[in-house]
Amino acid sequence: MHGQPRKPLRVKDAAAQAAKASNLRDLQSQLLHNHHHRLYTEEAIAASSKLLEINPEILTVWNYRKLALQQNLKEATDSERIKSLVDDELRAVEIALRANPKSYGAWHHRKWVLSQGLAEVDFDREFRLLDKLLKADSRNFHGWNYRRFVAKLKGLPEVEELKFTMDMINTNFSNYSAWHSRSGVLSRLLSKKAEGFAEREKILTEEYELVSQALFTDPSDQSGWFYHLWLLDQTVTPNEVLLISSWPSHDSDCVLSINGNAAYCKSSEPIRSSYYFMSTGKLPVVLYFNQTVKGVNSSSVTVNSMFVKNEDLVWRPLLPTKSKEAACWVTYLQIPEMQISDTKVYRVEVKLGHSNDILSSNGSEFNHPLHFRFTLTLNSDSLEHSRGESVDELFVWDDGGSSTLESNDLVSFDQLKLSEDHASAFSKWQLDTISNEINLFKDIFVKLTLARLLIAQDAMLSHTIPTVRLIRLRDVLELYDDLVKLDPRHAGYYEDERSLVIMNQVTLDDKSLSSHLSHSSNYISSKLHLHGCLQLKSLSLTRIGYVERLLWVQTLDLSHNKLRSIAGIEALQLLINLNLQNNQISSITALEPLKLLSYLRVLDISFNKIGAHSVDTTRYLFSSPLTHSIVKDKKCIEECRQADINVADNWEAIFLFSGLHLKQLDVKGNAVADEKFRDLLKKVLLTLTWLDGERL
């Protein structure tokens, strides 16, 4: 129960507890015996009920009762007998809930029984049970979850459920579960424009007024603040799915040497040649949307080129997980080997039309047809003549001061230019609502909410003068700096949000970006000359953001920050050199996004915290090759075993590095980087030439 702390056992209760424990052990032994021998008699089932009355958290009991019910149903000959068996199960659940109203097993079993459709559901009984439960604890999320299940089973109109949430909120403003349930019901009603809910702006305005009453009634209660955050998300989420960035960019010219080993890209009005090196005959086409979307495929996106048929292109979401939804999508143009003596230019067009396939997570469709084009030039320049990538030379990061490019020297890789209608996709109501909320919370100065509102306003007013936006972002940074000091328990969250603001500042426009761009010659290498060398070191970043503005980057220096995650970096499909030295990365699995970077050749992860913790809990969030679920991993695992590598203890490292094609890697300064680990890397990374600055 909420607000009821646990009390220590009194001495005089010790004997009673000992007797209870003994009884529990006897009942458990009896259950296991009955389960093993498949005994489903009335006496056996009654004994399991006694066990549930003492401890409803033993999942084996619920599994046993499922099997018992299924067996006894086979022998039931009439509807009355079936109804009696169902009622027995429902009573067993009610007995268990008296012992623990938040028993996962009990609630799951009740749902399972009713879902079988064995007998007519007594909905009055179910709602009476819920009324008793929610009177005892109005925020019991198990009860709320079960209510949603029963309401759906009965076909109860969602408008009635919305009214119920209002009744519960009026009873207690601090009912987080009621606010949460209200947000879910209201989302569904608004998305399908149910009767009375077609005017989205009117409904949300009323909700702002409602939650304001709760916030000013008890500002210290979190329930209303969470609902306000949900409302803010509903307000600032774009109403339309838009394509906001791509690579190659519109009207750019990509030049590919005929040997297929290197390519460089230049804008339509270049200041200087800009080299983009890629693997053999493989040119990425990247699309970045303003929302997470699904359905990007050869039907919804048409690529016209002479190199490959559109229907043969495979689009994939750029996420390290197996999700089919992402903001960033990529496909590859496979360039065939051509023997030519003269330079030849090929035109490539990418078209996105009206499509029911491309859908955002909230159901919005892509309804703004557009197309962009770029040219691909195949010439006979050799790799050496193109000042190409050296396979022999050590790439050394520049730790000293370095000159930067002037803003007027930048080779521009702008985001796709959207029409003015798209740029001002936010309605007057959205802009006014955010402005009103900012003024409201400036008066009571709630720092976190004010910071969120200012960020939302900045996103809506992205077309305003950069200097005005920079002032607004500086204000947000001050708020997060204050929050880190005032609330150190949640400093990690504030630092993550602060990092996004810093990334926004750095990438806001060409002028902001120019102070962080360097000639590749600043990085000590006589042969390597690349465009897109971005320095973001020593900015106290804990996470990466606004990657849609950085699709052109090939050399990225993120050293001397506080990065714990590199999520998002997978969108930088052109990345060749990456410096993560001196951060706070604590596990190999945190580097999972690197597997999606086909061209990555130089990686520095030295002086992090990899291996400092004896247990890497994040490893269990990723699929292990030990499951033999992926063919290429099975082959890699077998090769490692033949090389006497301890697969069980090192599968995450094997899984990551076997998927990379690194020529240079630095791992020194990590707890994991002993000689055994170095030997493992040498065996797994067959392309490796340099390890910790030493030639192999």
**Residue 456 pLDDT level (bands cut at 50, 70, 90):** confident
**Residue 205 pLDDT level (bands cut at 50, 70, 90):** very high
| Model pLDDT, residue 260 | 44
Mean pLDDT computed over 12-19: 74
Return the structure tokens found at 371: 């197309």
Higher pLDDT, 12 or 23: 23
What is the C-alpha separation between 204 and 209, in angstroms, rounded?
9
* DSSP annotation string for 435-487: HHHHHHHHHHT-HHHHHHHHHHHHHHTTTS-HHHHHHHHHHHHHHHHHHHHH-
Strand partners, 253: 266, 375
| Model pLDDT, residue 169 | 92
| Model pLDDT, residue 22 | 83
pLDDT tens profile 208-252: 999 988 888 888 888 889 999 999 988 887 778 889 889 888 888
Secondary structure (3-state) at 639? helix
pLDDT tens profile 370-392: 888 888 877 655 444 444 444 46
Out of 272-281, 316-325, 524-533, the most confident range is 316-325
What is the C-alpha separation between 9 and 304, in angstroms, rounded?
75
**Residue 12 pLDDT level (bands cut at 50, 70, 90):** low
Which residues, in sequence order, are CB contacts of 157 under 8 Å at separation 6+? none
| Model pLDDT, residue 111 | 94
Distances (CA, A) of 380 to 514, 528, 637: 33, 20, 41
- Positive or negative torsion for Cα 511, 513, 518, 520: negative
Q: What is the mean pLDDT of the chain?
A: 82
Q: Which DSSP helix (H) or strand (E) runs through 541?
A: none
What is the C-alpha separation between 310 and 99, in angstroms, rounded?
62
Model confidence at 503: pLDDT above 90: yes
Model confidence at 6: pLDDT above 80: no
Higher pLDDT, 355 or 461: 461
Give backbone dihedrals phi and psi of 257, rounded to 5 degrees, phi first: -70, 150
Model confidence at 654: pLDDT above 50: yes
pLDDT tens profile 46-103: 999 999 988 899 999 999 999 999 999 988 888 889 999 999 999 999 999 998 999 9
| Model pLDDT, residue 302 | 94
**E strand residue ranges, 583-691:** 602-604, 664-666, 690-691
Model confidence at 638: pLDDT above 60: yes
Nearest one of 686, 683, 684, 633 to 663, comparing CA atoms: 686
* Stated pTM of the model: 0.79
Model confidence at 395: pLDDT above 60: yes
Nearest one of 161, 149, 75, 154 to 109, comparing CA atoms: 149
Higher pLDDT, 579 or 249: 579
**Residue 396 pLDDT level (bands cut at 50, 70, 90):** confident
Model confidence at 267: pLDDT above 50: no
Q: Which DSSP helix (H) or strand (E) runs through 104?
A: helix 104-115
Quick check: 590 and 611 in contact, CB under 8 A?
Answer: no
Return the structure tokens found at 110: 């009740």
Q: Is 112 exposed, middle or buried (0-12, 13-18, 19+ CB in 10 A)?
A: middle
From 349-363, 395-409, 422-436, the region with the lowest mean pLDDT: 395-409
Q: Is 328 exposed, middle or buried (0-12, 13-18, 19+ CB in 10 A)?
A: buried
**Residue 635 pLDDT level (bands cut at 50, 70, 90):** low
Mean pLDDT computed over 6-34: 78
Mean pLDDT computed over 420-429: 63
Mean pLDDT computed over 524-536: 61
Mean pLDDT computed over 286-314: 91
Quick check: 69 and 92 in contact, CB under 8 A?
Answer: no
From 173-187, 475-489, 640-654, the region with the lowest mean pLDDT: 640-654
Nearest one of 476, 447, 443 to 459, comparing CA atoms: 476
Secondary structure (3-state) at 86? helix
